[in-house]
A and B are shown apart, each in its own frame.
Chain A
Amino acid sequence: MDTAGHNEKYIRDAVKKAGLEQPSLDFTAGVMQKLTASEKATVYRPLIPVKGWLVMAAAVVIFTICAFYFGEELTLPVWLKPEKISGDLVAGFLDQLTLSRNMIYGILLTGAVILLQIPILKSRHYRTLWRNHYQ
């Protein structure tokens, strides 16, 4: 065997002989303890709870129905009239506030886009995060 061949053999033999290192005796128990602790500690609560989403969805649906069935222009309902809420400046402005049909459509579409996109984006982000970090 030439020198390179010998050296190759020496390196292989030495690395093999060095063998595996062994961690402490309670290594496995430590890992299982950490796993159990992390499972108990990690309780993720969503930013917007399910009830919140249902209320938002109901509001959008009700608003859509109102837009289609109660004329071209909508004004604020009685219980939201300025005299029920706040002072003169605001009262004057709110009293004259009316919404066109296009404005209502715009608000509804924006609401629908937000409701649809957030879960999709969240799921995509979660998948990308795991893929980049662990594979």
Chain B
Amino acid sequence: MTDQKDAYYIRQVLEGNVNAYACLVEKYKGMVFTLAVRILKDRETAEEVAQDVFVKSYQSLSGFKGNSKFATWLYSITYNASMDVLKRNKKFTASEAVERLSDTRTTPEENALERLMTNDRNEAVNAAVAALPEEDRTIIWLYYFDELSLREIAKVVNLSVANVKIKLYRSRKRLYTLLEHNTIITA
């Protein structure tokens, strides 16, 4: 359900107080921008997309029913807008290393993560996440950073809950394998 403060600002905007929308923009600009950056990997394009997302959501605010969180709705628009940009520019992640390594099994002794210092480890993890395909990257980020439920993630990426579960499982498996081989980080 929509947060009470958000509901207040949304009501204000629908009653004609355009300036109330600035409060919503301030509150959610970080989240929208971050998701766009994660997908597009380009800050300038991500900022344009993020601005367009807020303009689009303003124009269709009367259609927002309040059944889900406002953030989830914004994420959904951001995800679709970012994927449209990628499709238009035909820039999809095609990481063969990710696919090749997915099925490789390792023994616990080979886990390189354990040996890394924390900062290096964080960098390694984030580099590995960035190497995943866009959809998987989005799911990982929404699940671990924003701690959205599987149902909410499913609404954002336009998939069923079962599908999101499978993708999350596979993405995690891929991440573990990528990190244990430590190949993406040094490439």
Contact = CB atoms under 8 A, between A and B. Distances in A.
B77 A134 contact: yes
A20 B30 contact: yes
A13 B51 CA distance: 29
Nearest to A131: B63
Given A4-B176, A15-B129, A16-B144, A34 B122 contact: no
Interface in B70-91: 76-77
Interface stretch (B2-10, B18-26, B92-100, B159-167): B18-26
Nearest to B145: A15
A35 B21 contact: yes
A7 B175 contact: yes
Contacts of A133: 60
B122 A14 contact: yes
Given A7-B113, A10-B121, A20 B172 contact: no
Interface residue range, chain B:
35 or more
A49 to B, nearest CB: 25
A18 B125 CA distance: 10
Interface string A1-45: 011101110111111111011111001101110111011000000
Contacts of A36: 18
Contacts of A27: 25, 29, 33, 47, 50-51
Interface residue range, chain A:
35 or more
B87 to A, nearest CB: 15
Nearest to B13: A35
B43 interface: yes
Nearest to A22: B30
A70 interface: no
B37 to A, nearest CB: 5
Contacts of A28: 22, 25-26, 29
Contact of B125 (A15, A21, A24, A39): A15
A15 B143 CA distance: 10
A89 B29 CA distance: 72
B63 A134 contact: yes
B55 A35 contact: yes
A14 B63 contact: no
A80 to B, nearest CB: 49
B106 to A, nearest CB: 9
Contacts of A31: 22, 25, 51, 54-55
B29 A23 contact: yes
Contact of A32 (B25, B34, B141): B25
Interface of B: 18-19, 21-22, 25-26, 29-31, 33-34, 37, 43, 46-47, 50-51, 54-60, 63, 76-77, 108, 111, 113-114, 121-126, 129, 140-141, 144-145, 172, 175-176, 179
Interface of A: 2-4, 6-8, 10-18, 20-24, 27-28, 30-32, 34-36, 38-39, 130-131, 133-135
| 10 nearest CB pairs, A to B | A14-B125, A15-B144, A20-B30, A14-B122, A134-B60, A23-B33, A21-B34, A31-B54, A3-B108, A28-B25
